[in-house]
Structure 1
């Protein structure tokens, strides 16, 4: 993931890296993590509209980040329908267990 992330940042893309950390986090719970990813995209678009207001977004996650990405992909239509045309793909790697949304 790091070479891809660095390449994206060098090309001027915004990069969000979701993960689950710490003993009090509900690991593998896709709803809160998915909301956090979608809320982050909303915030980025609102805070920097000239740079990212009309941008397309691809989501990629590995392990805990895959859980967050999976949740965001599954929840976009119901939680953030205004982003449906802007989120163009999601890729998951290293997801430890399937999560249901």
Structure 2
């Protein structure tokens, strides 16, 4: 898929391969990550949660809260970081080390 030239230059610094490993990232971001294999659960940081309702795919980093009133979800650790800290794309990518600086 080709993007217009202005879009390509806008995100030129982003390097998805530099995103942190989902297991490592979620282990540090979520208290009491439970489970084994490719799925884990934790208390959702997006609402006052007393029981684990956040499901995390440890292969891809995808996440979903199963509480209907919350419904937080995303495809990877970048989406989680953006939602949790209220950051725009570029700022979250920089915070996670997935943004190459121009040399």
Q: Same fold by TM-score, threshold 0.5 exceeded?
A: no
Structure with a larger share of its residues in helix: 1
**TM-score, normalization by structure 2:** 0.24
Larger RCO of the pair (alpha carbons < 8 Å, separation 6+): 1
Quick check: which has more Rg, 1 or 2?
A: 2
**TM-score, normalization by structure 1:** 0.24
